[in-house]
Amino acid sequence: MIKTQLIDLLKLNEEDLKKTVIIKQHPQYEQIFFMLLNQKANTFTHKFVREIHDALTIVEQHQGHTALITTSLHPTVFSGGLDLNVTGNMNIFDRNNFVLEFIRLLGRLLRYPIPTIALVNGHAVAGGCMFMFAHDWRIARAEPKKAHCSLPEIEIGMYLPPGMNAVCQCKLTPNVHRDLCLLARRYDLGSEGLQNQIVDGLATEDKIIEAAIQKALSVSKYGQDKENFTKLKEEMYRDAIKACFSRQMAPGNAYDLGLPRL
């Protein structure tokens, strides 16, 4: 239903729907942009990460009031995280570089010069969970069992490089962060998201797009002074941003310390 609503609202055509990342302005409110993730399970590859970067560049060039809503056209998944089928076939050097590139995408979102809202219409897993956290606000499906978030790395023998961990840490309470990372706890956003401060709002499937639009309208004025908005976020998330962009925090350096490899 959400995909159909977005197709109708944004007048998406066949050419639009062939793209894996779609950028559209709201037809009535030109200050609101939608970034639609349109890849199978929205798992991250080099190409997908770079297409998201290109989309972010387009939006941040908009003058005046601006806000970005990110969501998925997949019926049940917001993002499934890094594409392990791709990373599993990489050599260690390429895999480390790809992980670092993804972490820098998270860092870019943390300091992005306009307000960002994740419209979480499905499950957010591993890197998809981190991608959700990197947004300023999160609005999720209110119906139980329709959207959960989880960090299953401990169950598959992976660890979180510093940048990834820092993004989660700066957006979560200590107990939620602990249980996500160390217990791979799956939080149902509809029934547990608000009380655990994982999301900022809930709405049913038929109302979630409008809820995200109303939030975007209320915060878009802060996207006018993009330089100051960036400075404020850089100070708020100083340590996490440093972890995302410092080469000393890259996975390869962590491996030199004897930590397990991805």
Taking each helix axis as running N to C, give the angle between helix 238-245 and helix 162-169, from 0 to 180 degrees, rounded to the nearest 10. 160
Cβ atoms of residues 120 and 181 within 8 Å: no
**213 with 172: CB under 8 angstroms?**
no
pLDDT along the chain (262 residues), means of 10: 95 97 98 96 95 97 97 96 86 86 96 98 97 98 96 89 94 97 96 96 97 98 97 97 76 39 36
78 beta partners? none
**What pLDDT score was predicted for residue 123?**
97
Residue 69 β-bridge partners:
34, 117
d(CA 24, CA 19): 12
Cα–Cα dist 68/217, whole Å: 10
Handedness of CA 178, 239, 170, 62 (dihedral sign): negative
Tell me whether residue 75 is exposed, middle or buried, using C-beta atoms within 10 angstroms of its C-beta: 0 to 12, 13 to 18, 19 or more.
exposed
Other Cβ atoms within 10 Å of 216 Cβ, number: 28
What is the reported pLDDT for 260? 37
Q: How far is CA 256 from CA 48, 87, 98, 125, 228, in A?
A: 29, 20, 18, 28, 38
Q: What is the structure's pLDDT at 247?
A: 62
Could you tell me which residues come within 8 angstroms of residue 80 by beta carbon, excluding any fewer than 6 positions away?
41, 42, 43, 123, 125, 126, 128
